[in-house]
Chain A
Amino acid sequence: MNDTALPDQPHQARRRWMAVLARAHAGSLQSLLADCGALPAHAVLRGPDGGLVMVRGRAGGGGAAFNLGEMTVTRCTVRTETGFIGHAYIAGRDEKRAELAALADALMQDPDRADEIERHVITPLERKQIEHKTERARKAAGTRVQFFAMQTTRS
């Protein structure tokens, strides 16, 4: 969501919108894209096909990397008739969602369409995702337990 991509990392803007698109639901993506007027025809270059990726983690964020487990991902690549290629890698097996996300990525690279897609698709989705995350964090914070008792008995 608030992807803290470092400023010196390339494609920072694209990382942001691809992350937003990867988290969006197929239904909301479809309805938001429908608001953007006539979309260029697109051909699927690859996929949508499913696969597994190994999720790696680091204990405490700084330990040695270990394999946490595999997760299902679906990838798709489309090419619009205007010649822009969009990619999408999404969690899960929703092929329609992967194709829509790839199409939106292709449109975001088209200077003629980028503003419109940003306004009608990316910004609303991002706002909704941030709200959802904040809401979950708020609910989780409500159940937080402070172990004062244990701390005092230990000392």
Chain B
Amino acid sequence: MRSDISPGFADPVAGTQACFRSVLDAMSRPGRLQSIHGVSAPPPLCDAAAAVLLTLIDHETGLWLDPDVEPARPWITFHTGASGLGCHGRGAAFAMALSLPDLATLPAGSDEMPETSATVILQVSSLTTGRCFVLQGPGLRGSADLRVDGLPPDFAAIWQRNHALFPRGIDLILCAGNTLTALPRSVSVREA
């Protein structure tokens, strides 16, 4: 059977460890850009999104895939062992999407177990151009600016609804090209 699956990380152990560190830094310093190297991503995924999947997903992880990510499913299944959950997001620990999914369809955790919420890995067109958002919250002295191209027009309102659920809520990892950043649920977002 012919197939065009590409390798994952050139050095799987060092690559996943470095990527894990980047995600950790991105979550603790919201809005700061982290760069990812050494991965060959399958279309339509960008390097950063592919690296995050390789790092955080294994065969036991509930992963929801946006229908647009479907062409990359064989690659994701091969490298991570995750089979994907189909088209509904209930029970997903992670969601991989090319456009922001309805956050209400994903698990937001409970007050007793907020860690059971989902993390959305969202691929956007750019993290250096586009609309500017002002971030405030834990991990930021004062505020930070973040430019994102590829979020819905009413993103600030959507995010504030999610932020208001704290300690429940969805965490977001934004990926574009080989850079990523994160918006944990604890951060508040307004349009600049």
Chain A residues proximal to chain B, CB less than 8 Å: 43-46, 49, 77, 79, 82-85, 109
Which segment, of B1-9, B56-64, B150-158, B175-183, faces chain A? B1-9
Return chain A residues, CB-CB under 8 Å to B6: 45
User: Are A83 and B7 in contact (CB-based, < 8 A)?
Assistant: no
User: Are B7 and A84 in contact (CB-based, < 8 A)?
Assistant: no
User: Are A46 and B79 in contact (CB-based, < 8 A)?
Assistant: yes
- Chain A: CB-nearest residue to B3: A85
Alpha-carbon separation in the docked complex, A84 to B5 (Å): 10
- Work out how many contacts link A and B, with CB atoms closer than 8 A: 26
User: Are B78 and A83 in contact (CB-based, < 8 A)?
Assistant: no
Smallest CB separation, B12 vs chain A (Å): 8
Contact of B5 among A49, A85, A109 (CB under 8 A): A85
Smallest CB separation, A47 vs chain B (Å): 9
Alpha-carbon separation in the docked complex, A45 to B12 (Å): 11
Alpha-carbon separation in the docked complex, A49 to B2 (Å): 23
Beyond A83-B3, A85-B1, 13 extra complex contacts between A and B, CB < 8 Å: A45-B6, A45-B7, A45-B8, A45-B78, A46-B79, A49-B12, A77-B78, A79-B3, A79-B5, A84-B1, A84-B2, A85-B3, A85-B5
User: Are A109 and B7 in contact (CB-based, < 8 A)?
Assistant: no
